[in-house]
A and B are shown apart, each in its own frame.
With several copies, the nearest count.
Chain A
Amino acid sequence: MTQSSSAGLDAALASGLAADEYALIVKRLNREPNAVELGVFSVMWSEHCSYKSSRRHLAKFPTSGPRVIQGPGENAGVVDIGDGQAVVFKMESHNHPSFIEPYQGAATGVGGIMRDVFTMGARPVALLNALRFGDPSHPGTRRLVAGVVAGIGGYGNCVGVPTVAGETNFHRGYDGNILVNAMCVGLADSDKIFYSAAPAAGLPVVYFGSKTGRDGIHGATMASAEFDTDSEAKRPTVQVGDPFAEKLLIEATLELMASGAVAAIQDMGAAGLTSSCVEMAGKGAVGVELDLDAVPQREENMTAYEMMLSESQERMLAILKPGREADGQRIFQKWGLDAATIGRTTDTGRIVLRHHGEIVCDLPLAPLTEDAPNYDRPWTEPVRQPHLDPAHIPAPTDWEAAVLTVMSCPDVASKRWIWEQYDRHVMADTVEDSATGADAGVVRVHGSAKGLAVTSDCTPRYVSADPYEGGKQAVAEAWRNLTAVGALPIAITDNLNFGNPERPEIMGQIVKAIEGMAEACRALDFPVVSGNVSLYNETNGAAIPPTPTVGAVGLLADYDRRAGFGTAKTGDTLLLLGVSRGELGSSLYLRECLGREDGAPPPVDLTAERRNGDLVRNLISEGAIQVVHDLSDGGLIAAAAELALASDVGVTLDATSAAHAHAFLFGEDQGRYLIATAAPDAIIDRAQAFGVPVATVGHAGGEAFVSGPLFSIPLARLRDAHEGWMPGYMDRPA
């Protein structure tokens, strides 16, 4: 048997492979790989491409359902929305690149996720972003926020896809590793979905888009490695996004697809040309032969290694049907894109690369994909936090200060400073967005009465305290946010952001969070159709809070029958649906007012969640209610205050009969909705008939946010606190 040389092993270790992985490669090949081949292995077997630490656990997700056309495994998930149409979506992280170069890192994250969606034949129609930054007082945070937000806007605005929703958290746990998760949602005809598997041998492999440079070489392996103080030095050349090129690429790709020339197609994302051609040939069980001299190159003297590992942006790889290359050329020329036929599919089951007339790589495809490592990493059961009894949690001494503290804390304060930098209206189909006062963004399905509702959710402090319950909660909150606008939740994508999986306690978080998410997905008929895993989010051994972000899509049959929380009127009664026990464990009240981050998070009763949500959705679709807000961070206080601010009307809450007013008002019990209605009796009857607990908790009117005798805060003051934090933080002089 071939032994690995020490030089070969050193090169493998430097490229991010483990010693036993290298030994396995040598065994499979029965020889040592050359440098190009090693590069190909290193990216295909990276965590980012192979999911080697998470694969067996991801298998626990429910991924099918009557509407699911394509679950995980393609560039994006595809779900039927009736009338021959499908919604196509996925979420992806660009955490490390955004930490290194916030503007370009975030911009290229948006570009990358859009390509995953239009590669499937869908026109992107909505973008979302889920952001986690370090503590606002950390010296790097402000620059990162400014750069990331400008980058997301700079890219999405230019391409012309509205950014309609998102979430933003701040916590010192992200000081050294911010999270930038971007989601794209697209629309396609359900019989015109495009896939990546090469259907046959002998077909031309066509490269189109921007030229290849030395950008981001080893980005994929980098995204799979822990940060240390050295990572400055091993920084790859940063990828720069060209949103104009992306816009042209979308139009050209969709036109090429419509022309009938495409047999298979795949974007070049992380690990660029390597992963796209290996996956296309591998999935199609064919082979591929490329002539690298034909690759459009931006720089001189590029090596085969550099071309195969480059992460230059805005590039696509298509396998065309026989005789259709001229169609491609005409379209690429119209849109001013570089393009070239760089190879053919073969029947050898191998990837063969030629450069300057020599074969520089000749590998069997099977080991690259099928034999990629699949680890069962050891994990330990997370330590559970004790349940907190509200009787033992102090109530505020100054209620007004407590309310203002929660409403102006970085996690709850208005993110207007962020979303006003995003074009939310381009495509002229946005009916709810970050600005309008609704729990989810809603875009119309162009030319129809249907609407798509979109949201992204995760409460990392719950996942930290209890990964299983926190995982459930992330899914349930997304489901609830879609329901609160009246949409039927249909499927999710996810972005699992964690620390180093080689540490058993981190692996325990991953395993339990996935299991909790999977349970919620099953109970709510909410399959996972795509997703992304980002591990090794650690700096010098300190891991991020576990952050399994859920991106979810719901369907409105008639977008006119929807709800928001910006139209409550004087005289409306406020009803609270769901059970309020006063859960203060891991709540914002505890953290922001008492400086404590402990206690079991609120449990999610999935049966009640579903029952309550189904009632709310029915009431909205019947037109019985129009003003709905789910309860989440900050409990009833935050929900009622947000409703008051969005509707520009005072709100009075009655907490006099609660055993513990602070637990009632700030508790974060799950599965609850706040409704404002002029006809409460009918709604109460319906709730009782449906078996949903309902209580009258106040009314709208006046110009203050009040809970007598505890506090009375003029709306203007509340608004200043809520709106003021972020501009005050971002715009103060350097």
Chain B
Amino acid sequence: MKAVVHVFLKPGVLDVQGKAVQSALHGLGWGDVDHVRVGRVIEFDLAGEDAADGKARVEAMCQRLLANPVIEGYRVEIAP
């Protein structure tokens, strides 16, 4: 199975990277760009075939390591 984890700052938490990218894009002439958010994406393979079980394991990984639950939220996708 393949896991894809997206980690983003929780709403309301200052996203300094998003802010910087937005102002750079505006400076380059893309003034219509808005609400930029920058996050991390972590992709990996894991053993097994059962997507539900895979998802549960990856969520545990997010809690323990991949995300910082104090300020970040995450989204897990499992593909065969």
A104 within 8 A of partner (CB) = yes
| Contact B70–A240 (Cβ < 8 Å) | no
Expressed in whole angstroms, the Cα–Cα distance for A214 and B11 within the complex equals 10
| Contact B27–A240 (Cβ < 8 Å) | no
| Contact B16–A242 (Cβ < 8 Å) | yes
B20 within 8 A of partner (CB) = yes
B42 within 8 A of partner (CB) = no
| Shortest CB distance B33–A (Å) | 13
Expressed in whole angstroms, the Cα–Cα distance for A584 and B20 within the complex equals 44
Expressed in whole angstroms, the Cα–Cα distance for A312 and B13 within the complex equals 10
Chain A 257-298 near chain B by CB (<8 Å), digits 1 or 0: 000000000000000000000000000000000000000001
| Those of B64-80 within 8 Å (CB) of chain A | 68, 70-71
Expressed in whole angstroms, the Cα–Cα distance for A239 and B23 within the complex equals 21
| Shortest CB distance A140–B (Å) | 13
A326 within 8 A of partner (CB) = no
With known contacts A734-B24, A734-B27, A734-B28, A238–B71 Cβ distance under 8 A: yes
Give which listed residue, B16, B24, B26, contacts A240 with CB less than 8 A.
B16
Dominant SS at the A interface? loop
Residues of A within 8 Å of B12, CB to CB, are 213-215, 237, 299
Residues of A within 8 Å of B68, CB to CB, are 101
| Contact A213–B24 (Cβ < 8 Å) | no
With known contacts A734-B24, A734-B28, A213–B71 Cβ distance under 8 A: no
| Shortest CB distance B9–A (Å) | 8
| Contact A215–B70 (Cβ < 8 Å) | no
B41 within 8 A of partner (CB) = no
B46 within 8 A of partner (CB) = no
| Shortest CB distance B19–A (Å) | 8
Give which listed residue, B13, B20, B28, contacts A238 with CB less than 8 A.
B13
| Shortest CB distance B37–A (Å) | 13
Residues of B within 8 Å of A238, CB to CB, are 13, 70-71
| Shortest CB distance A222–B (Å) | 14
Expressed in whole angstroms, the Cα–Cα distance for A244 and B71 within the complex equals 20
Residues of B within 8 Å of A336, CB to CB, are 23
Which B-chain residue is minimally distant from A104 (CB atoms)? B71
| Those of A323-378 within 8 Å (CB) of chain B | 336
A-B contact count (CB 8 A): 43
Residues of A within 8 Å of B71, CB to CB, are 101, 104, 238, 240
Which B-chain residue is minimally distant from A242 (CB atoms)? B16
| Those of A85-141 within 8 Å (CB) of chain B | 100-101, 104
Residues of B within 8 Å of A447, CB to CB, are none
| Contact B14–A240 (Cβ < 8 Å) | yes
Chain A 191-220 near chain B by CB (<8 Å), digits 1 or 0: 000000000000000000010011100000
Expressed in whole angstroms, the Cα–Cα distance for A213 and B70 within the complex equals 17
| Those of A713-734 within 8 Å (CB) of chain B | 733-734
| Contact B27–A733 (Cβ < 8 Å) | yes
Chain A 225-262 near chain B by CB (<8 Å), digits 1 or 0: 00000000001011110101100000000000000000
Which B-chain residue is minimally distant from A336 (CB atoms)? B23
Most buried by A among B9, B26, B28, B70: B70
Residues of B within 8 Å of A237, CB to CB, are 12-13
Expressed in whole angstroms, the Cα–Cα distance for A238 and B69 within the complex equals 11
| Shortest CB distance B31–A (Å) | 12
Which A-chain residue is minimally distant from B25 (CB atoms)? A734
Which A-chain residue is minimally distant from B71 (CB atoms)? A238
Expressed in whole angstroms, the Cα–Cα distance for A733 and B23 within the complex equals 8
| Shortest CB distance A190–B (Å) | 36
Expressed in whole angstroms, the Cα–Cα distance for A313 and B16 within the complex equals 12
Which B-chain residue is minimally distant from A105 (CB atoms)? B70
Expressed in whole angstroms, the Cα–Cα distance for A313 and B19 within the complex equals 15
Residues of B within 8 Å of A100, CB to CB, are 70
Residues of A within 8 Å of B70, CB to CB, are 100-101, 235, 238
Residues of B within 8 Å of A214, CB to CB, are 12
| Contact A242–B14 (Cβ < 8 Å) | yes
Which B-chain residue is minimally distant from A103 (CB atoms)? B68
| Contact A213–B27 (Cβ < 8 Å) | no
Residues of A within 8 Å of B26, CB to CB, are 733
Which A-chain residue is minimally distant from B64 (CB atoms)? A734
| Shortest CB distance A78–B (Å) | 32
With known contacts A101-B68, A733-B23, A240–B13 Cβ distance under 8 A: yes
With known contacts A104-B71, A238-B71, A312–B14 Cβ distance under 8 A: yes
| Shortest CB distance B72–A (Å) | 10
Which A-chain residue is minimally distant from B13 (CB atoms)? A240
Expressed in whole angstroms, the Cα–Cα distance for A313 and B13 within the complex equals 12
Residues of A within 8 Å of B13, CB to CB, are 215, 237-238, 240
| Shortest CB distance A299–B (Å) | 6
Residues of A within 8 Å of B19, CB to CB, are 242
| Contact B27–A244 (Cβ < 8 Å) | no
Residues of A within 8 Å of B14, CB to CB, are 210, 213, 215, 239-240, 242, 298, 312-313
| Shortest CB distance A336–B (Å) | 8
| Shortest CB distance A506–B (Å) | 28
Residues of A within 8 Å of B20, CB to CB, are 244
Expressed in whole angstroms, the Cα–Cα distance for A104 and B15 within the complex equals 12
Expressed in whole angstroms, the Cα–Cα distance for A104 and B16 within the complex equals 12
Which A-chain residue is minimally distant from B9 (CB atoms)? A240
Residues of B within 8 Å of A210, CB to CB, are 14
Expressed in whole angstroms, the Cα–Cα distance for A110 and B71 within the complex equals 19
Which A-chain residue is minimally distant from B68 (CB atoms)? A101
Chain B 17-45 near chain A by CB (<8 Å), digits 1 or 0: 00110011011100000000000000000
Which A-chain residue is minimally distant from B10 (CB atoms)? A237
| Contact A244–B24 (Cβ < 8 Å) | no
Expressed in whole angstroms, the Cα–Cα distance for A99 and B79 within the complex equals 37
Most buried by B among A210, A237, A299: A237
Residues of A within 8 Å of B16, CB to CB, are 240, 242, 244-245
| Shortest CB distance A183–B (Å) | 25
Expressed in whole angstroms, the Cα–Cα distance for A407 and B71 within the complex equals 38
Which A-chain residue is minimally distant from B20 (CB atoms)? A244
Which A-chain residue is minimally distant from B23 (CB atoms)? A733
| Shortest CB distance A361–B (Å) | 24
Expressed in whole angstroms, the Cα–Cα distance for A215 and B9 within the complex equals 13
Residues of B within 8 Å of A213, CB to CB, are 12, 14
Expressed in whole angstroms, the Cα–Cα distance for A242 and B44 within the complex equals 21
- Lowest 4 CB-CB distances: which A-B pairs, in order? A734-B27, A240-B14, A733-B27, A242-B16
8 pairs across A/B with beta carbons < 8 Å?
A210-B14, A237-B13, A238-B70, A238-B71, A244-B20, A312-B14, A733-B26, A734-B28
17 further interface pairs, Cβ-Cβ under 8 Å (given A213-B14, A336-B23, A734-B27)? A101-B70, A104-B71, A235-B70, A239-B14, A240-B14, A240-B16, A242-B14, A244-B16, A245-B16, A298-B14, A299-B12, A312-B14, A313-B14, A733-B24, A733-B26, A733-B27, A734-B23
Which A residues contact B (CB, under 8 angstroms)? 100-101, 104, 210, 213-215, 235, 237-240, 242, 244-245, 298-299, 312-313, 336, 733-734
